[in-house]
Amino acid sequence: MCMGGQMANDDVKKSSMALRYQRLFETAQDGILILDYPEGLIIDANPYIVELLGYPKSFLVGKKLWEIGFIEDKQQALKIFQELIATSYVRYEHLNLRQFDGQSKAVEFVCNSYAVNGDTVIQCNIRDVSDRVKALKLSNEVVQLKIENLNDIIRCLLTIVESRDPYTVGHQFRVSDLSVAIAKYLKLDNEIIEGIRIASLLHDIGKFKVPLELLIKPGKLMPEEFGLIKLHPLWGFNILKTINFKQDVPRFVLEHHERLDGSGYPYGLKNKQISLEAKIIAVADVVEAMTSNRTYRPALEMQKALAELANNQGKLYDVDSVRACIYLISHDAYRFPDYLLS
């Protein structure tokens, strides 16, 4: 084939490719803006973006992104362009564009620069994600609704127990406060801390099934009576397992009287068999119980409670939880809050 024929064939191929690109550009279901480089002037806009924004194409062409004002945050528009020039690519999953009629539209915004026939151009793809944003907002609202409903359930359970035994609810409230303080000191994840907060608020909920005369008995309990008391973690588990908690709250409640050496109840679990959440609640539970008045004894001094923890850390109680608790009370001046059911 002669040189002229080869050149003509190449021109036909280029023309065909350009035609296919133009058709894709015009029929794309994403908005597309073509900008010159490096000034950033809009040199073309496809029909979809014109319809999405409501601006006439003649209004868009020849202007810069931040001059039009359809990116609601002008400083963000400048930042996008500067980032694009520096890296040749930017992507924002969510930008708010202002349409010609003043309404806001959520879009995904992707820009990149590339060479065309020796020149560099910028292509911005703009996808309408308003339905996605609405769905995400609805999902967040549903999650928040679940959280609010869960808190309502917790308040309802505490109110029921308080109507029978106000002491138990106040105890749970104070144990929860110290448990959360320990968990925060240990820098646990927020989700773990929330599980500890809920479980510690409800850790004695199973005492609702214990005969009241045993809970308020002034003297020493008989072995069979104490055997009933020791069932309250299991009863609490059975009450709470029907609720759809995000964390394994029923398990934490079930294990809060287990001890590292297996001497706890109801199952005599040891060491790693016991959840960290239950180990933390156990430490806070011991401190609050020892320093509060009981029907069979007056409150003990805080130092005796801390000595109990220190003497039995690693044997009965988790070492990290004990050290955190002792530090909070001895050096951080932690004090149990007054209880008020709201």
Which residues partner with 105 through β-bridges?
97
Burial (CB < 10 A; 0-12, 13-18, 19+), residue 168, is buried
Sign of CA pseudo-dihedral 90, 96, 101, 102: negative
Kind and range of the H or E element at 250?
Answer: helix 249-255
Q: What is the pLDDT of residues 64-99, one digit of tens each?
A: 877 776 677 777 778 888 888 888 888 888 888 888
Q: What is the pLDDT of residues 95-135, one digit of tens each?
A: 888 888 888 888 888 888 888 778 888 888 888 888 777 76
Q: What is the pLDDT of residues 221-271, one digit of tens each?
A: 888 888 888 999 999 999 899 888 889 999 999 999 999 999 999 999 999
pLDDT score of 42 more than 50: yes
> Is the CB of residue 34 less than 8 Å from the CB of residue 49?
no
Which residues partner with 116 through β-bridges?
119
pLDDT for the residue numbered 342: 42
pLDDT for the residue numbered 328: 95
pTM of the model: 0.60
| Domains defined for the chain, CATH in brackets | 27-128 (3.30.450.20), 152-330 (1.10.3210.10)
Q: What is the pLDDT of residues 298-319, one digit of tens each?
A: 888 999 999 999 999 999 999 9
More confident residue, 238 or 338: 238
Q: Which long-range contacts (CB under 8 A, 24 or more apart) does 143-150 make?
A: 150/198, 150/243, 150/245
For residue 24, the SS3 value is helix
> Is the CB of residue 320 less than 8 Å from the CB of residue 327?
no
pLDDT score of 341 more than 50: no
Q: How confident is the model at residue 164 (pLDDT cuts 50, 70, 90)?
A: low
User: What is the rounded average pLDDT for all residues in the chain?
Assistant: 84
pLDDT for the residue numbered 29: 81
